[in-house]
Structure 1
Amino acid sequence: MTQAYARPGVWRALVGALEGVRGVDPATVLRVRAAAEGDVGGLADELAEQASTAPEFARALRGWVDAGGGVGGPVGNTVSGDTSIDGHLVQAHHIQGGVHFHAPASVAVPAAPAVPRQLLPVPADFTGRTSELATLDELVGRPFGGPAIVVISGSPGVGKTTLASRWLSALADEFPDGQLYADLRGHSGQDQMPAGPGEILGQFLRAIGAPHSPAGLGEQAALWRSHTAGLRLAVMLDNAVSAAQVRPLLPGGSGTLVAVTSRSRLTGLGVDGAAFVQLGALAVSDAVDLLRRRIGADRVGREPEAARQVVTACAGLPLAVCVAAARMAVRPRQPLAAMAGALDRDGGAGRLDTLSIEGGYAVRGALDESYRHLPPGLAVGYRRLGLLPVVVFGTAVAAAACSVRPDEAALLLDDLAEVNLLEELGPDPVSGADRYRFHDLTRAHAADLAGELETSADRRDTVRRVVDAYLFTATAAEALLAPSHRTLPRDYAFPPDPGQRPPFSAAPGALNWLSAELPHLMAALRAAAEHGWDATAWQLADAMWPAFLRLRPYDLWIEAHEIGLAAARRAGERQAESRMLTSGGTGLRNAGRHDDAVEWFAQAREEAVRDGDRRAEAQALHGLGQSHRLAGRLAEAATFFTPALDLREEIGYRRGAALTRICLGDVALAVDRPEQAVPLLERARADLLAEHDAYDAARALAFLGRASARLPRAGRTVDDIERQLIAALGEFEETGSRHWQGRVLEMLGESAEERQDGARARNWYEQSLARYAQVSATDVRRLEERLDRLDRPSGRSPDRPSEP
C-alpha cells in the first residue's frame, strides 16, 4: 500500500467515535490520531483486523462510516485490492485521497458484548452476617489509591463465597461496566491444580471484549490493566491460594473493586493496599434461622431446643448446617432430636462422618483439602494440637505438645492461623503472648488425623507433655502464693528444661495466671486421671490450692480433690491422701457441705493418728473445728480448735498455730466476747507477718478490726472504728483475693449496721455484693438478704459467710 492522505477532520471524527469503546487497542487509537496528521499507511488493514475480533469496535466504525467519515464527496479514485471490515469493503491499494467504505445494506453489524454479570447466585436462604456486610461497606468507602481490594478469609465451610457474592450483588448498580467472577481453585481437590493467572486473565479479557490475549503473563497483565483503567468494574476472585496467584489479576485504575476469598489470610496483599475481613462462625440464632429456612419453620418450631443442639454441634459452620439440613430434609418424619443425638454420639467423635451427603464427606472433604496443602512439619503440628485436652492455648502449650522450641511453636501457630485452621484470640492477659483455639469441627478433624497417622505412643506423649507443662507452671504459682503449702513432691515424665521460666515473676501475676488458666488446669487434671497418671492427677490438684483458696470456685475445688483423693489412694501415697482430704474438706465446708467436710477431716485425723503424723493430725483437728464453726456448732468447734492449737504449738508449727488463733478469735466474736478475741488475733497477726504470710496476716487483721469495732466506742470516731478493716481491705486488694475483699466490706457493713447507720451499711454491703458477684453465688444471696433486711429491721440475720 502506498501512502495517501485523507482530510484530517475525517480521521479526527473517528478518534472521537472510538473514545471509551470497549475492545479498542490503544495502539490503534494512536494510529488514527496519526492519520489526522496525514499518515494513513497500512491503516485500513489494522482497522479490519480490529473489527474482526471486537464487535463493539466494529459497531463504532460502522457508525463513523454511516456518518460520512469514509464516503461522500470526492475522496479519491478507483482502487484495486480490498479488505472487508464488518461487511464494509475497504479499498486499500494505491490510495489517493482517502479510504472508501462501501457498506452492503444486507450485512448486520454485530451487537456489542453484553455487560458481564458473572457473580454466583446468592442462596435464597442467606441469613445473618449483618455486621460483616456493614464492615465490608465501610471498607469500600475508605481511600485505596488504586483498585479497592478486600480479602475475606475464614475456615473451610464458613461461608466466604456466599458472603462475597451477596455483598457484590448488592453493589451491582455501582459497577455499570460489569462484575467478573473466577474460581482460582485454591482448594478444589487433588484432581485439579490451582488456576494459573494466565488462564484467568484470558477469561477476563474475553469477557470485557478485548481484541486478543497475548501469550505471556506479563503482557496479559499489562493489557488487562490498560483495558480496565477507566472502567467501573467489580471482580470476585474466589478460593485463592496465595497472594502471588492474585496479584497479576488486579485491574488498573481506581474505579474497580476486587473481592478475594481464601482460606488463608493472604497478608501479602497488604503491600497492595488490601483490607482484610476475618469471617467467623455464624451466631447460634442465625444458624437456627438458616436451618429453619432449609427444613421449614414448623419443624424447627416444634423442636426449638433440638434445633439449637444441631446448630451447636455444627459449631456455627454454614456448610455443616446445610449438610445437616439436607439430611433432615429427606427424612421429613424424623425428629430433629435424632440428628442432634447422632451429632453428639460418643461425645461428638463421629460428627464429621455424620455431616456427609450421598456418600461424600462434605465437611471432612473441605478440611482434608486444607490439610493437604500443609507442609509436613505444619501437618504434624496440626495433628498434635488436635489432641490437646484444652480448648485455648498459646505458645508454651503448643511447644510442649509439638516438642519444639517456643519460637518454633510461635511460627507454627501463626502459620496455622494464616490458613484459618486456627483462630487467633488476641494476647494472653498475663504473658501477652497470642492465644489460639480450634473451630470445634476443625479440632475434631485434627484429632481424627492424629488417630490415623500418629502412633499411640506419640499421642500419649503429646498429652503428657502438655499436662506436665501445666503442672510445672501451676507449681511455680503455688510456690509464690502459698510457699508453706508447697511441700509435697512433683513427678514429671518430661521434666522442664533447666532454663524454663513461668510466664510470671511475682505473686499478682501468678494469681492472674491461675485465674485465666483454671478451666485448662482442670482439663489437664481430668486428662491425667483418664490416662491413669495418678501422681500427676493429685499433684495438679495440690498445685491449684492458691486458686481454690483465693478465687473460691467451689465446684471445681471439690471436683479436683475428689479426683486427687482417688488418685492418691490408687497410688498408695499416704501424704498425698492426707493433703487431699484436708484441702478437699476445706472446699466442702466453704461450699456449705459441713457434714461432708466433717467426714473428710475425720478420715484425715484417723489416718494421721495411725501414721503417727502429728502435723497432719493437727491439720485435721483444725479442719473439724472450722467445719463445725461454719455449721453454727460453736461449742463443738472449740473442742477441736483448742487441741489443734496445743498440738501445733507443741510441734513448733508457728504459722499453723496462728491460723488456729484466728479461728478461736472468730468463735469469741460469735459469742460476743470481743475482748477475748483481740489478744488472740493480735498474736496471730504478728506471727503471720513474721512468717511472711501476707494473705493470712490480712485475715487476722480483718477479724481484729471486726473485734475492735465491737469494743466500747466512747470517744472513737467512725474513722477510728473502721481503720483496721479498711487497712485489711487494702491488703487483700494487693493479694488479689476477691472473696476476702467482699468479706471485709461485709464486715464494714455489719459494723455500720450495729451503729444504726443504715445508709453507710447499705453502701458497704453494695460494694461487698459487687466483689462477691465475681466469685460466690452463695455469698451473693446472703448479701442480697442483708440489703433487703435493711428495709425490714426485724428480719432474721443471714447465715455466716464461708471462711477457711
Structure 2
Amino acid sequence: MKLLLLGPLELRVAGTGMDLGQPRRQAVLAALAADTGRPVTLETLVDRVWDGDPPDAARSVVYSHISRLRRLLDEAAVREGGGAAARPPIRLGKISGGYLLEADDDAVDLARFRSLVARGREPLYPDAERAGHLEEALRLWRGAPLPGLSGAWAERMRTAWNQERIEAAVAWAQTCLRQGGPERVPELLRPLLADHPLSEQLAAVLMRSLAAVGSTTDALHVYTRIRRQLADELDLPPGPELRSAYEELPSGTAARKRQAPPPRAVPAPAQLPMDVSNFTGRDVQLADLTRALIPGAGANGATAAVVSAVSGTAGVGKTALAVHWAHRSRDAFPDGQLYVDLRGYDPQRPVSAAQALTGFLTALGVLRQEIPLRLEDRAARYRTALDGRRLLVVLDNAASAAQVRHLLPGSPDCRTLITSRDSLGALVSVNGAHRVVLDALSGTDSLALLRALIGERIDAERSAAADLADQCARLPLALRVAAELVLSRPAEPLARLVAELHDHQRRLDLLDSGDDPRAAVRAVFSWSYARLAELPARLFRLLGLYPGPDTDAHAAAALAGESVEAVRRALDLLARAHLLNRTAAGRYGMHDLLRVYAAELAAGHDPAAEREAALTRLLDHCLAASAAAMDVLYPAERHLRPAVERTGTGLPPLRTADEARAWLAAAQSTLVALCSRTEEPGPSGHTVRIATTLHRHYERSGHYTDALTVHTHALRAARSVGDVRGEADVLVCLGAVHRRLGDYDSAQQLHDTALALCRRIGYAAGEARHLTNVGVLHELRGRYREAAEQHERAVALFRSVGDAPGEADVLNNLGIVLELLEDFEASVERYERALELYRAVDHPLGEASALGNLGILVARLGDHAAAARHFERALTLFRRLANAAGTGHALSNLGNALSGLGRHEEAAGHQREALDLFRRIGERYGETGALNGLGEALHGLGRAAEALAAHAEALEIAREIDEQEEQARAHVGAAAVLRDGEPEEADARLREALDLYTALGSPRAEEVRGMLDAG
C-alpha cells in the first residue's frame, strides 16, 4: 500500500489506485499525511481544510471524513493481502485532541523522499552513493503536488515541497558534476526548470551540465530564456550564481562550431541562394566580414547585434560577396540562415518589411495564423522567435535604413548582413553597423575571373583580355555577361570581339557621364542583347515589365503571347547568356539592373499598346490559372467565383490538389504584386476577380495575412473605378477573414457597408451573402433570434435569384440557429432540405457540413450513436476534401458524441486531434470548443484536475473572442467537476452560466436553473 502526495493525491494498492472520494475528503487525508508520524489537532485539520473560514458543521464533516478514511485504509490493507492480525502499512489513529497518521518507512512518498534526501546530503557517504539516493528521491515525483486541492494551505505545501525538490535536484546535479557524470543531468533538470522557469539555481546547474557535455549553445539558450523572464516578470537582472554560470561558458569560434542547434519542431532555416560559381577575389572584404560578424574573430564580440552593410554600385558583386561569405561561414551560425531579396531598387515592387517578416516567421516555424497583422507586432514576434538563436540574417538589395529597421534581430547571438547601393549611414551611426564598401575588381582579379569563366584563351590573348576587363569596368556582372558572349563565338579571336565591343560602346547613346560604371554594364548588356534572335529579345524586354520576383514558362508565354515550348527555349537561352537566372525548378528571375535595362528597352522598342496588351495577357493567365487551381481544390464552389475564360497560351499542369497548391504557393508573390498595381486603372477589374477567386483558398488554408493584403488592394481597385458590385464582393471576403481572426466588430462593419451598397444597386445575391455572414456573427455572439432573422431573409433572396447552393448554405446556418433556440423540428427540416440541395448540385463540402450539424442536433436529443454515425460520414468527406477546419469540427463533434456514449478515452483522443488542428490553422472558436469537449471527456475519465484546466483555458479563449456560448459551456463543465467536492464553487459557476445563457436568450438557461435548484 502506498500513499502518494508528490503529484496527484493517490492511494495505491498492488499498483492500482483506489477512489478517495470527494475533494474535501482528499484534503483531510493530505492534511494528515503532510505530518505523517506527528499528531495533528482537530483545530489544525479544520484550518487546513477550510483556510481559516470553516462552516458551522466543520467538526462534524471532519469526523465523517475520518470515519470513511479509516474504512478505506482497512479495505486497502485487506486487498493488499494482510490478515486480520497483520499490521496495516498505513494507519489512522485517534489521539487526545486530534489524529495521527502512521506509516511504514516506504508507504508515504513524501516521507520516503525526505529520508532519501537526508541520506543524499550525508557527507560521510561517497559521491556516487549520495547521487544515487538523491536521484531515487527525485524520481518519486510525478508532477505538481496536490493539483486537485485548492486553498492557502495546499498552496503553501506545494511551494514548500517544490522548493525541497529544487534543492535536492541542485544537490544531485552538483554531485554528478563533481564525479564526472554530467550527461544524465539534463534529462531530470529540463522538465523541472520548465515547471519552475524563474529558479536561478536550477538554470545555473543545468547550464554547467550542458557545457560539460559540449552543448554550449543549449546552455546559452537556457541563460537567454531565464534572463528574459526575470526581466519581464520580476524586473530583475540575473543573480550572481547565474551570471557566474554564464561567464564560465566556453567562447570563441572553435567552441561554437562544435555546438548543435537546439532541438526545435522545425528544421533550421537554410534560405541562402546557391553560391556563386567561380567566385574570384575579394579576400580583403571576406576577411573584414569575418572579423565583423563572427564573435571571437574580431573586436565586435557578442555584446550587441552587429549589422554589416556591403555597399557599392549596381553590378559590383554585392550579392555575390554576401552569399559567398554566408556559405563559407555557415558553421558559425548553427541555428540557420535567413535570406530575402528586398528588391529595394525596383521602383514599383520593393519587398516591404511586413512581407519579409511573414517569410522569416514562417521559416522559423511560426504558423501563418499566428503571425500578427500589425507591422510592429510582427517585428516583435520575429525578435522573440530569434531570441537565443545563433543565426545569420541576409538582407539583400536594401534601399534604405528604413526598409530594414524592423528586420534587425534583437538578440546578441544573431548577425545581420545587408547589401545596398546606399551607404546606410543611419545604421552605422544608430545601430553600430560595420560598413564594407565594395569597388570594382582589381585588374588581376578581373583577369582571374575571366580565366575561370572563359579558360586558357585568356592566357594566349592577355592584352585583349585586359582591354575587355576595362571595357566591362571590371564589374563582375558585366564580366560574366561578356564572357558568355565570348564563349558563344569560339572561333573568333578575342581581340576582334573586344574591338567590336569597343565600337559598340562608342556608338551607343548611354547615360550622361562616361565615368558612370553603369554605362559600361549597359554597354555589355546591349552587346549581348543585340545578338539575340527576335523572340528571346522581345521576351527579355517584356520580362522587364513582369511584376513578380520570378516566372515560369507558362506565365512568360502569356506575357509574350507565344507558345510555351518556344518561350521555354527562349528562357533557357537567356539563362545561358546570364540575362536571366534560374531561381527554382522551372522558374526564372532577373537581376534588378537587368530588369531596369529590359524595361527601358521595352519602353523604347515596344509601343505602349503592346506593353499594355502583354500585361493584360499576363493578368488573364494568372486569373485563369487561379480559377483552375480553385476548381481542383473547391469544385463545388464554382458558382461563388467570377466566370473566367481560358487563355490561348495554356495553363501549367493543375490536375491534382497537390499541383494546385504547389502553383498557388509558387505564384503567390506574383499574385500579390499584380493585385498591388491598384494605382493603375488597367488591372483593377482583374485585381477584384483574382481576389474573389482566391478568397476560399486564403480563408481555408489559413493564409490570413496574405488574404488581407490581396483583398485590401482589391477593395481599393474596385473603388478606384467605381465597381460597386466588385466592392461588395470583396467586402464579403474581407469580412469573412476578420471573422476567422476573431475580430467580429470589424467584420460587422464591413458587412454593414456592403449591405448598403447591395441594396443601392439591387444586387440580391450579394445582399444575401452578406446577410448570412451577419447571421453567423450574431450566432457567434449568442444573438440567436437576430441570427435567425438574417438567415431567413438570405434564404428568400437566394431562392428569388435561383441560387440553390447559396440557399443550401443559408439553410444549413439557419438550422444551427434554430437548434440553439430549441426549435428542433424546424432545425431538422432546414438541415434535411440543405442536404437535398447539396446532393442535387454535387456539393460534398456542403453535404459534410449539413451532416455535422444534423449530428449535433441528434446528439442533443440524446441519440449519441446516431450522432456519431453522422459525424463519421462528415469526417470522411472533410478529410477527402483536405478541409482542415471542417475536419477539426467533425473530430470535436465526434468526440462529444463518444463522451455521450461513455467512450471517454476515444473522445479525449478525438478532441486532442481537433485541438491540434485548430491551433495549427488559428481558428480560436474551434479551439475553445475542443477544449471544452476535452474537459468533459477528462471528467468522464475521473481526471478532475486536467478537466478543470481544459475548461479554464476554454473559458479564457472564449472571453478573448467574446464567444458567450462556449463561456457558458466552460462554466457548466467546471461545475460538473466541482460538484462533489466544492459545491459552493460549483453553484457559483452555474450562476455564471445562467447569466450568460439568460443574456443570450438561450433556452439552456432553464436547464442550468434546474441544475441549481436540484443542488
Q: TM-score, normalised by structure 2?
A: 0.43
Residue of structure 2 in register with 1:394 after alignment: 552
Measured in 1, the distance between the counterparts of 2:770 and 2:858 equals 30
Task: Give 1:718-797 correspondences, 5 Å limit.
Answer: 720-755=866-901, 757-772=903-918, 775-776=921-922, 778=924, 782=928, 785=931, 789=935, 790=938, 792-794=946-948, 795-796=951-952, 797=954
Measured in 2, the distance between the counterparts of 1:309 and 1:705 equals 63
Q: Secondary structure at the match of 2:896?
A: helix
Amino acid at match of 2:798: R
Residue of structure 2 in register with 1:496 after alignment: 647
Given that 1:749 and 1:761 are in contact with CA atoms closer than 8 Å, whether structure 2 keeps it comes out as: yes
Alignment CA distance shift 1:403-1:644 (3 Å): closer
Residue of structure 1 in register with 2:321 after alignment: 318
Given that 2:294 and 2:301 are in contact with CA atoms closer than 8 Å, whether structure 1 keeps it comes out as: no
Q: 1:443 and 2:591 equivalent? A: yes
Deviations 1:482-519 (A, max 9, x none): 5553564669xxx832x735633577755664455444
State the shift of 1:455 in Å: 0.9
State the shift of 1:470 in Å: 0.2
Task: Give 1:553-632 correspondences, 5 Å limit.
Answer: 553-632=703-782
Deviations 1:358-403 (A, max 9, x none): 6967454455545565752446545544543223432101222344
Measured in 2, the distance between the counterparts of 1:608 and 1:682 equals 30
Measured in 1, the distance between the counterparts of 2:401 and 2:601 equals 23
Residue of structure 2 in register with 1:660 after alignment: 810
Q: Secondary structure at the match of 2:586?
A: strand
Q: Which residue among 539, 562, 569 is the counterpart of 1:411?
A: 569
Residue of structure 2 in register with 1:94 after alignment: none
Measured in 2, the distance between the counterparts of 1:490 and 1:768 equals 36
Q: Secondary structure at the match of 2:546?
A: coil
Q: Which residue among 805, 808, 832 is the counterpart of 1:682?
A: 832
Alignment CA distance shift 1:673-1:518 (3 Å): farther
Measured in 2, the distance between the counterparts of 1:340 and 1:602 equals 44
Alignment CA distance shift 1:515-1:740 (3 Å): farther
Q: Which residue among 265, 278, 290 is the counterpart of 1:160?
A: 278
Amino acid at match of 1:792: E
Residue of structure 1 in register with 2:299 after alignment: 298
Structure 1: gaps spanning 5 or more residues: 1-124, 131-153, 166-281, 324-335, 427-433
Q: 1:633 and 2:789 equivalent? A: no
Measured in 1, the distance between the counterparts of 2:310 and 2:848 equals 48
Question: How many residue pairs are counted as aligned between the two chains?
Answer: 504
Amino acid at match of 2:892: E
Amino acid at match of 1:466: L
Given that 1:291 and 1:321 are in contact with CA atoms closer than 8 Å, whether structure 2 keeps it comes out as: no
Given that 1:385 and 1:446 are in contact with CA atoms closer than 8 Å, whether structure 2 keeps it comes out as: no
Task: Give 1:210-225 correspondences, 5 Å limit.
Answer: none
Deviations 1:747-767 (A, max 9, x none): 223333455544223321333
Measured in 1, the distance between the counterparts of 2:657 and 2:398 equals 47
State the shift of 1:675 in Å: 5.6
Task: Give 1:91-102 correspondences, 5 Å limit.
Answer: none
Q: Secondary structure at the match of 1:684?
A: helix
Q: 1:473 and 2:619 equivalent? A: no
Given that 2:551 and 2:587 are in contact with CA atoms closer than 8 Å, whether structure 1 keeps it comes out as: yes
State the shift of 1:687 in Å: 1.0
State the shift of 1:525 in Å: 1.6
Given that 1:467 and 1:528 are in contact with CA atoms closer than 8 Å, whether structure 2 keeps it comes out as: no
Q: Secondary structure at the match of 1:635?
A: helix
Measured in 1, the distance between the counterparts of 2:783 and 2:290 equals 56
Deviations 1:182-227 (A, max 9, x none): xxxxxxxxxxxxxxxxxxxxxxxxxxxxxxxxxxxxxxxxxxxxxx
State the shift of 1:695 in Å: 1.9
Residue of structure 1 in register with 2:439 after alignment: 357
Measured in 2, the distance between the counterparts of 1:669 and 1:403 equals 56
State the shift of 1:451 in Å: 3.7
Alignment CA distance shift 1:623-1:422 (3 Å): same
Amino acid at match of 1:412: A
Alignment CA distance shift 1:505-1:157 (3 Å): closer
Alignment CA distance shift 1:160-1:309 (3 Å): closer
State the shift of 1:407 in Å: 0.5
Q: 1:707 and 2:865 equivalent? A: no
- Calculate percent identity across the aligned residue pairs: 22
Given that 1:386 and 1:443 are in contact with CA atoms closer than 8 Å, whether structure 2 keeps it comes out as: no
Alignment CA distance shift 1:739-1:392 (3 Å): farther
Q: 1:648 and 2:798 equivalent? A: yes
Amino acid at match of 1:708: V
Measured in 1, the distance between the counterparts of 2:701 and 2:398 equals 38
State the shift of 1:544 in Å: 1.4
State the shift of 1:541 in Å: 0.9
State the shift of 1:625 in Å: 0.8
Q: 1:454 and 2:577 equivalent? A: no
Measured in 2, the distance between the counterparts of 1:384 and 1:352 equals 25
Relative contact order (C-alpha < 8 Å, sep 6+): which is higher?
1
State the shift of 1:673 in Å: 6.1
Amino acid at match of 2:716: A
State the shift of 1:602 in Å: 1.4
Task: Give 1:492-571 correspondences, 5 Å limit.
Answer: 496-497=647-648, 500-501=650-651, 503-505=653-655, 510=660, 513-514=663-664, 517-527=667-677, 533-571=683-721
Given that 1:701 and 1:728 are in contact with CA atoms closer than 8 Å, whether structure 2 keeps it comes out as: yes
Given that 1:159 and 1:318 are in contact with CA atoms closer than 8 Å, whether structure 2 keeps it comes out as: no
Q: Once superposed, what is the RMSD of the aligned Cα atoms?
A: 4.8
Measured in 1, the distance between the counterparts of 2:538 and 2:297 equals 42
Q: Secondary structure at the match of 2:307?
A: helix
**Bigger share in helix:** 2
Alignment CA distance shift 1:129-1:581 (3 Å): same
Measured in 1, the distance between the counterparts of 2:908 and 2:257 equals 46
Measured in 2, the distance between the counterparts of 1:675 and 1:724 equals 18
Amino acid at match of 1:376: L
Given that 1:352 and 1:361 are in contact with CA atoms closer than 8 Å, whether structure 2 keeps it comes out as: no
Given that 1:626 and 1:637 are in contact with CA atoms closer than 8 Å, whether structure 2 keeps it comes out as: yes
Measured in 1, the distance between the counterparts of 2:636 and 2:802 equals 19
Measured in 2, the distance between the counterparts of 1:300 and 1:682 equals 70
Residue of structure 2 in register with 1:376 after alignment: 532
Given that 1:534 and 1:567 are in contact with CA atoms closer than 8 Å, whether structure 2 keeps it comes out as: yes
Given that 1:477 and 1:511 are in contact with CA atoms closer than 8 Å, whether structure 2 keeps it comes out as: yes
Given that 2:885 and 2:918 are in contact with CA atoms closer than 8 Å, whether structure 1 keeps it comes out as: yes
Amino acid at match of 1:454: A
Could you tell which deviates more after superposition, 667-676 or 462-471? 667-676
Given that 2:848 and 2:878 are in contact with CA atoms closer than 8 Å, whether structure 1 keeps it comes out as: yes
Amino acid at match of 1:638: A
Measured in 1, the distance between the counterparts of 2:862 and 2:751 equals 38
State the shift of 1:560 in Å: 2.3
Given that 1:708 and 1:721 are in contact with CA atoms closer than 8 Å, whether structure 2 keeps it comes out as: yes
Amino acid at match of 1:406: V
Amino acid at match of 2:898: A
Alignment CA distance shift 1:650-1:294 (3 Å): closer
Measured in 1, the distance between the counterparts of 2:708 and 2:438 equals 42
State the shift of 1:459 in Å: 6.0
Given that 1:157 and 1:319 are in contact with CA atoms closer than 8 Å, whether structure 2 keeps it comes out as: no
Alignment CA distance shift 1:631-1:515 (3 Å): farther
